[in-house]
Amino acid sequence: MTSRFNQPLGGNQMPRFGGPATMMRLPAQASAEGLDAAFIGIPMDIGTSNRPGTRLGPRQIRDESRMLRPYNMATGAAPFDHLQVADIGDVPINTFDLKKSVAIIEDHYKGVLAHGAVPLTLGGDHTLTWPILRAMKHRHGPVALIHVDAHADINDEMFGEKVAHGCPFRRAWEDGCLINDKVFQIGLRGTGYGPDDFDWGREKGWRVIQAEECWHRSLAPLMAEIRAVIGDAPVYLSFDIDSLDPAFAPGTGTVEPGGLTIWQGLEIIRGCAGLNLVGADLVEVSPPYDPSGNTALIGANLLYEMLCVLPGVPQKPVPRAFSQGQPG
């Protein structure tokens, strides 16, 4: 039976190593017109402060997405049965001017949101989230935020510059993009310049959950708390791949040990089901630092999981019986 919704190109229609170089080998189109959700790349690393390479992230995430299939075996979500989804290409940033790139991104996302599509962004360094949040405010007003990261990204400046990948959430707060009592930062860790490095957000009413609070535990209860606080407010999810421990995702620019596990990352995203998710990003994948491609592969899977929890996609978990009985 032919679906009225776009479908990823299947592995029995075309070998996994062939076909279009789009996210999940979906159809490509030039704009978000007619779409419920759109995958968008921002190939940018001119805001990075350590190892570059995230300009290559969107391309490798798309490449590694070729193994993804349309049905979520864990949650029962079948997004391509309910949403019209396509890959609308990359934002044409100015790779020689970060401030101009920020303006280009904001304008581009205003156009996407004007069509009513939910943008799912393939990054790119974390600077990009600030202009996206500005576009979100233009469309939805201030939004709740779930920010998953090893770093708070709340610097006032870096080398005297106000625009960098360590500053986006300070800038978003200044611009009135956030609902302050509905902001959550999960996974922060590492060394700092002082004991109060993570406190700026707390002083604004944000809840900061450091990585050590997440060790050796499921994050499903945390996500239940977050859902209760956010309610039906519009919410944006920003997921920095460096939130994961480098044992899982070494291909990033500012690595910090002691991070989240892949399954905790999945719990966070799956825990967004039922929220009014208006956009999401997966940032800071730097392919040169992971020749295996696994960091980008994880990023592709997390972006698919974001698609699966968008409004309008039913969750139908398959009943499971787990037995710890002794073998007969």
Q: What is the pLDDT of residue 322?
A: 65
Q: How confident is the prediction along the chain (328 residues), in pLDDT tens digits per residue?
A: 578 999 999 999 999 999 999 999 999 999 999 999 999 999 999 999 999 999 999 999 999 999 999 999 999 999 999 999 999 999 999 999 999 999 999 999 999 999 999 999 999 999 999 999 999 999 999 999 999 999 998 988 889 898 889 889 999 999 999 999 999 999 999 999 999 989 999 999 999 999 999 999 999 999 999 999 999 999 999 999 999 999 999 999 999 999 999 999 999 999 999 999 999 999 999 999 999 999 999 999 999 999 999 999 999 877 776 655 554 4
Q: What is the pLDDT of residue 321?
A: 67
Q: Which residues are bridge partners to 183 per DSSP?
A: 145
Specify the CATH number for the domain of residue 300.
Answer: 3.40.800.10
Q: What is the pLDDT of residue 179?
A: 98
Asked whether residue 4 is domain-assigned, the answer is: no
Whether the predicted model's global pTM rises above the 0.85 cut = yes
Nearest residue to 162 (alpha-carbon basis) of 243, 252, 102: 102
The residue with tokens 């599509």 is 117
Residue-range definition of the domain harbouring residue 217: 51-308
Nearest residue to 126 (alpha-carbon basis) of 256, 276, 252: 252
Domain count, the chain: 1
Q: What is the pLDDT of residue 328?
A: 42
Q: What is the pLDDT of residue 2?
A: 72
Pairwise CA distance, residues 302 & 25, whole Å: 16
Asked whether residue 315 is domain-assigned, the answer is: no
Distance of CA 254 to the CA centre of its chain: 17
Report the amino acid identity of residue 179: I
62 neighbors 87 (Cβ within 8 angstroms): yes
Distance of CA 107 to the CA centre of its chain: 20
Asked whether residue 208 is domain-assigned, the answer is: yes
Asked whether residue 145 is domain-assigned, the answer is: yes
Q: What is the 3-state secondary structure (H, E, C) of 198-230?
A: CHHHHHCCCEEEEHHHCCCCCCHHHHHHHHHHH
Pairwise CA distance, residues 64 & 266, whole Å: 18
Asked whether residue 132 is domain-assigned, the answer is: yes
Measured CA distances, 147 to 47, 57, 98, 231 (Å): 18, 19, 22, 17
Q: Collapsing DSSP states into helix, strand and coil, what is residue 236?
A: strand
Nearest residue to 131 (alpha-carbon basis) of 117, 112, 148: 112
Asked whether residue 324 is domain-assigned, the answer is: no
Asked whether residue 18 is domain-assigned, the answer is: no
Asked whether residue 314 is domain-assigned, the answer is: no
Pairwise CA distance, residues 274 & 235, whole Å: 11
Nearest residue to 153 (alpha-carbon basis) of 194, 197, 120: 197
